Structure 1
Amino acid sequence: MDSAVHTMLADTWFGLIGLMLVFYVVTDGFDLGVGILTLLRRQSADRDVMVQSIGHVWDANETWLVVLGGALFGAFPAAYALLMEHLYLPVMALIAGLIMRGAAIEFRHSVDLWDKVFGIGSLIAALSQGVVLGKVITGLAPGKVALVFVVVTAMGVVAGYCLLGATWLVGKTSGMVEQWARRMSLLSAMFTVAAAAPLTLATWFRSDIGHARWSQPGVMHLLIVLGLGAVAALAFIMASLYLGSSRGPFRASVALFVLSFAGLAISVFPDFIPGKLGVLGAASDSPTLAFMLIGIGLVFPVMIGYNLYQYHIFRGKLAGGAHAGE
């Protein structure tokens, strides 16, 4: 196959990888957020309701991470190797956190300690993802400035997941738990913005690669549009919480994440790892990409359809225990 076809296949897989990452971050992000928030509730009945709100979806949500890892390994093996070489510890911490969550959900009814394990595992998983994201954005660069960027990114991911989790609880619970979730939604939104703002400024003023990418024709205009959309989504979160909407806050939080991720993808492309590895340099050969495209074309609709079906079946607020804490 000629270079034009190879470029098209590589770019297509870059988009598919990004789409898988969006699905994972949004779906598993809110149940990780719920897990982190359980650490802040003392009453066992409240934690039961919070875990119940994600009990039917959490394991399916994590499927996207498995598919993402497999797709990355097959479509971009050079990027997979480079990332694992530099990010082995945070990736292993992520897996450990997910294992802790899975075990805790199964055994939490036997001993209260498992509730702590569930919350701590969720926190470890979120922090690990934040570290991976920060390291990728900085191009795996060493130094104190890059370290500060990674730390703030990790804190921003935790705050963002708490925002998704809190707004999810607003739509799934009632009574005191819902009112508490509304307050946590506002607090998480403020922390998310507090982390995102300095990261955006640092990308422009401190990152030569980021500044160069944003200075390319048309890029800044597109980023401004996405930024305005993110501001509108944030305003909608605040307004819908104030007006007592149940579904609006979570939908706006998802929109905020999608818009932010779109801005991130635009800022990185055509690099896979900024300053280290481009999309074309990381991609497999064209026959491999084409063969994998056929496979994902068969699997993708099934996964998306199943996810939509389960969310439709279990839509609405929880019955019975949703008023825990009253």
Structure 2
Amino acid sequence: MHHILTNAWFCLMGLMLVFYVVTDGFDLGVGILSLFTPHEQDRDQIYASIGHVWDANETWLVVLGGAMFGAFPLAYAALMEQLYVPVMALTASLICRGAAIEFRHAAARKRGWDIVFGLGSLGAAATQGVVLGKVITGLAPGALAASFTALCAAGVIAGYALLGATYLVKKAHGALVAAARRQAAYALAATMASALALTAGTMLFSEIGHGRWMQPGVLGVLIPLAALAAFSGGYVLYALHIRSSHGPFRGAIALFLASFTGLAVSLFPYLVPGKLTIADAASDSATMAFMLCGIALIFPVMIGYNLYQYYVFRGRVELQH
């Protein structure tokens, strides 16, 4: 029973992370792209495109942190001890984004808040990449691990920019759509290059590459996922070429899902590669079962609310003159 509960919570936390990365990823991405958007009218479109969803998207990160604290407290303690600075930087970045979104509409000069919003988005993406890099390297010290972590941060920034650009392709109007198509192509190239470099680095320097990938059957799962990721990247390019509105965003989501599934397969059964498995870090069965009852009530509400708001605010943003 305990084994089933630990595996169930590992999968649930993975699902929460997927929801967060896909939903908050595109609104962090449009924030990053706002730094390269010179015209205020176009930045107005960027804010309008995420104004109805940005705060709900971030709730998945809160739920994920609470789930890890309750279900895997030893992993939470071990990770937070090493990741306190990037997690606090992530929190500060998200606060800056929220303040900029709320105060910009009342400001006489909006450019200052626009910069805060863009830098906050960039900082949030970078710190999430740092956390990912630290986890993959098993919290290892040294220049090599730091270089790998920096590459992870660059990859996350590029990936979020890809999600943001493809989101604007289907939500914006006019010149901003044309700019978003160009930015999506550049971001896709950077994302794929980062993914290839990180794969090579993981194979050479990480406990995942040395141990997990060499286990029987693992590569048999990862190779089809890599092929799916490559196909998704190609589909994004094709959809951009034929000037599809929704295709690029769907392809970008598929690319993220394939990559994330590969990461989950690579990590399992570890939460900190080479150091802490889910069995070692898990709470007792009673705690996990009680939390499972709670999440069974919360999950449908959160997913239903997210789906409903995306349905209500579907279509392109309205331009107000």
TM-score normalised by L of structure 2: 0.97
The alpha carbon displacement at 1:208 in A equals 4.2
SS of 2:316's partner is coil
Partner Cα separation in structure 2 for residue 307 and residue 320 of structure 1 = 24
Question: For residue 50 of structure 2, what is the aligned residue in structure 1?
Answer: 54
Amino acid at match of 1:64: W
Question: For residue 215 of structure 1, what is the aligned residue in structure 2?
Answer: 214
Amino acid at match of 1:188: A
Question: For residue 89 of structure 2, what is the aligned residue in structure 1?
Answer: 93
Partner Cα separation in structure 1 for residue 174 and residue 218 of structure 2 = 46
Is 1:23 equivalent to 2:19 in the alignment?
yes
Question: For residue 304 of structure 2, what is the aligned residue in structure 1?
Answer: 305
1:211-265 deviations in whole A, cap 9, x for unaligned? 3211111110110000000011001100000001000100110111011000001
SS of 2:271's partner is strand
The equivalent position to 1:67 in structure 2, one of 56, 63, 76, is: 63
Question: For residue 34 of structure 1, what is the aligned residue in structure 2?
Answer: 30
The equivalent position to 1:77 in structure 2, one of 59, 62, 73, is: 73
Provide the aligned C-alpha RMSD in A: 1.0
Partner Cα separation in structure 1 for residue 293 and residue 16 of structure 2 = 16
Which segment is superposed worse, 39-48 or 161-170?
Answer: 39-48
Partner Cα separation in structure 2 for residue 209 and residue 105 of structure 1 = 39
Q: Pairwise mapping of residues 215-254 of structure 1 onto structure 2 (< 5 A)?
A: 215-254=214-253
Partner Cα separation in structure 2 for residue 113 and residue 205 of structure 1 = 44
Amino acid at match of 1:199: L
The alpha carbon displacement at 1:207 in A equals 2.5
Gaps of 5+ in 2: none
Is contact 2:23-2:57 (8 Å) kept? Answer: yes
Question: For residue 136 of structure 1, what is the aligned residue in structure 2?
Answer: 135
**CA 1:208–1:28 in structure 2 vs 1: closer, same or farther (change >3 Å)?**
closer
Identity percentage over the alignment?
Answer: 61
The alpha carbon displacement at 1:210 in A equals 2.0
Amino acid at match of 2:195: A
Is 1:118 equivalent to 2:117 in the alignment?
yes
1:64-121 deviations in whole A, cap 9, x for unaligned? 0111111110001001111110000000000000000000001113032011000001
Question: For residue 146 of structure 1, what is the aligned residue in structure 2?
Answer: 145
Q: Pairwise mapping of residues 274-313 of structure 1 onto structure 2 (< 5 A)?
A: 274-313=273-312
1:253-312 deviations in whole A, cap 9, x for unaligned? 011101100000100101111011100011100000000001000100110010001001
Partner Cα separation in structure 2 for residue 39 and residue 24 of structure 1 = 22
The alpha carbon displacement at 1:319 in A equals 2.1
Count, aligned residues: 318
Amino acid at match of 2:78: L
TM-score normalised by L of structure 1: 0.96
The alpha carbon displacement at 1:51 in A equals 1.0
Question: For residue 127 of structure 1, what is the aligned residue in structure 2?
Answer: 126
Question: For residue 7 of structure 2, what is the aligned residue in structure 1?
Answer: 11
Amino acid at match of 2:241: Y
The alpha carbon displacement at 1:194 in A equals 1.4
Question: For residue 255 of structure 1, what is the aligned residue in structure 2?
Answer: 254
Partner Cα separation in structure 2 for residue 79 and residue 320 of structure 1 = 47
